Amino acid sequence: MKGCAEQAHEHREELIELDRVIGDSDHGENVDRGFRAVVEKLEADAPASIVDVLKLTAKTLMSTVGGASGPLLGTAFLRAAKSVGGEALDGAGAAALIEAALEGITTRGKAQEGEKTMVDAWAPAARAAREQADAGAGVADVLRAAANAAAEGAEATIPLVATKGRASYLGERSAGHKDPGAASTALFIAAAAAAAAAAVKEG
């Protein structure tokens, strides 16, 4: 979550700019505010388990992010919390977590792949994570594959015409620009991958 907050803060202006072109310029601000609040909450409450960390993250994102992305990310983390079975996350657990997050987003937002939303990053991430996990990969490799797929998915939103969310008001004019929610998703999953790689290295 600290990594997500750092990424949101570092890429704040870039996400604002993406949302300025096809939305209302607030996505960078929304996720920066949201994940900063998450880190503050986690430091204050210091939840001990993965499940409680994810639940507190969900609750905080829902109440601080606002916009369309707040409830979507909140639901993603809530479903992710429900997917976690134990006190440690292995490769299969990480894949299940991303799949659960995606399911939360599609249940809540009703977008399918190809509609130029964050689903276009989460869905390929979930597929790549599952493929790696099924091949026996550990958590760091699963998340690295997911992060790469999310980044590719975000890039692939550029030519798409938005049919969900605020960008859909632009119709054909939404084509030619990257979706801000897909872009931030790639940053968040990359942060998770970096954290997992660091944890594995530490042993």
Residues that bind Mg ion (CB under 5 A): 19, 23-24, 26-27
* Least Å from the CB of residue 121 to ligand ADP: 8
Q: Which of ligand ADP, Mg ion, none lies near 181, with the C-beta cut-off 5 to 8 A by kind?
A: ligand ADP
Max Cα distance, the chain (Å): 50
Please state, in angstroms and as integers, the Cα–Cα distance from residue 28 to each residue in 19, 32, 88, following that order: 8, 6, 31
Quickly count: other Cβ atoms within 10 Å of residue 199's Cβ: 12
Q: Which of 80, 97, 119, 156 binds ligand ADP (CB under 6 A)?
A: 119
* Least Å from the CB of residue 24 to Mg ion: 4
Of the pair 20, 36, the CB lying nearest Mg ion is at: 20
56-85: contacts with ligand ADP (CB under 6 A): 67-69, 72
DSSP string, 144-188: HHHHHHHHHHHHTTTTPPP-SSGGGGGGGGGTTS--HHHHHHHHH
Site map for ligand ADP, 133-172, x if CB under 6 A?
-------------------------------xxx------
DSSP string, 22-38: HS-S-HHHHHHHHHHHH
DSSP 67: T
- Please report whether residue 182 would count as binding ligand ADP according to CB under 6 A: yes
Q: Which of Mg ion, ligand ADP, none lies near 105, with the C-beta cut-off 5 to 8 A by kind?
A: ligand ADP
Q: ∠89-81-167 over CA atoms, to 5°?
A: 115
- What residues line the site for ligand ADP (CB under 6 A)? 19, 23-24, 26-27, 30, 67-69, 72, 105, 109-111, 117-119, 164-166, 179-182
